[in-house]
Structure 1
Amino acid sequence: MAAAFTALRVLLGLFFLLTGAVKLSDQLSADLHRHMNSQFERFADVFPLKEFGFAPEPGRYLEVVGWVEVVAGLLLAFGPQLLQEISNFILSVIMIGAIYTLLVLREPLAVCAPATLCLGLLLLLNIRGHAAPPKPKFE
């Protein structure tokens, strides 16, 4: 079972690494990068901290989220356990923010599904790490 969680952690980390790279550069997919740019213009309008006077510039917002996903994805996939746990937390916060943003924009639930699935998988990895230790076997 541990191998399945390791595979899930590595694949999820690589997924975030890839999605972050798409946000940072048009080299992987120019169309997807343009789409992300236009989406982050909408996302900046409903940024959760806007109520407190912090309104990010859409291009910078895209860049920051991209770098966070790249670094946290890399650390989730290949980092030491402590950095994996920190990365998991950071990526969970990013996914909660993504779900919040999509719901505020009244996007269809199908659009929210990828972020919700990613959050669920991150939480699964987190919970698995805090499960009760196995009971010792007595001979």
Structure 2
Amino acid sequence: MAFVLRIVRWGLGLFFLLTGAVKLSDHISAELHRQMQSQFVQFAEVFPLKEFGYRPEPEQYLTVVGWIEAVAGVLLAVGPQLLQEISNFTLTVIMIGDIYTLLVLKEPLTMYTPATVCLGLLLLLNIGGREGKMKPKFQ
């Protein structure tokens, strides 16, 4: 089981590194980067903290999310245990925010699939990592 969780952690780490890089630069895929830029205009309009008077600039929002995903992806894949856990939590919050945003925008169900799968895998990593730490002291 530990081997499977390690593969999932590396795969998710690489996935988030790549999605973050696409948000940060148009060198990987100019078309995807432009698509992300236009999506983040909509995402900024329904930003959860908007109710408290804060609405981020779309380009700044894209950049911040891109850096968080890229750094957290690297740390999730190859960081020490504590940083893996922090990265997992951070990426979980990002995925919950992504799903919330898609719900508010009433996007088609197919748009939810990547965020939902990633959230499920992040939760699996969290549960799987805890399972190994919760061995009974007395047997």
TM-score by length of 1: 0.95
- 1:83 matched residue in structure 2: 83
Deviation at 1:6, TM superposition (A): 0.4
- 1:4 matched residue in structure 2: 4
**Letter of the 2:27 counterpart:** Q
1:55 to 2:77 alignment: no
- 1:32 matched residue in structure 2: 32
- 1:122 matched residue in structure 2: 122
Cα separation, 1, equivalents of 2:59 and 2:69: 15
After superposition, the CA RMSD in angstroms is: 1.3
**What SS is found at the alignment partner of 1:130?**
helix
- 2:71 matched residue in structure 1: 71
**What SS is found at the alignment partner of 2:126?**
helix
Give me the identity figure in percent. Answer: 70
TM-score by length of 2: 0.95
Deviation at 1:129, TM superposition (A): 1.2
Q: 54-63 or 125-134, which moves further after superposition?
A: 125-134
Deviating beyond 6 angstroms after TM superposition, the runs of 4 or more aligned structure 1 residues are 134-137
Cα separation, 2, equivalents of 1:82 and 1:75: 10
Deviation at 1:12, TM superposition (A): 0.4
| Unaligned 5+ runs, structure 2 | none
- CA change 1:68–1:44 in 2 (3 A) is same
Deviation at 1:110, TM superposition (A): 1.1
- 1:92 matched residue in structure 2: 92
1:47-98 residue CA offsets vs partner (Å, 9 max, x unmatched): 0000001100000000000000000000000000000000000000000000
- 1:13 matched residue in structure 2: 13
**Letter of the 1:20 counterpart:** G
Cα separation, 2, equivalents of 1:98 and 1:86: 18
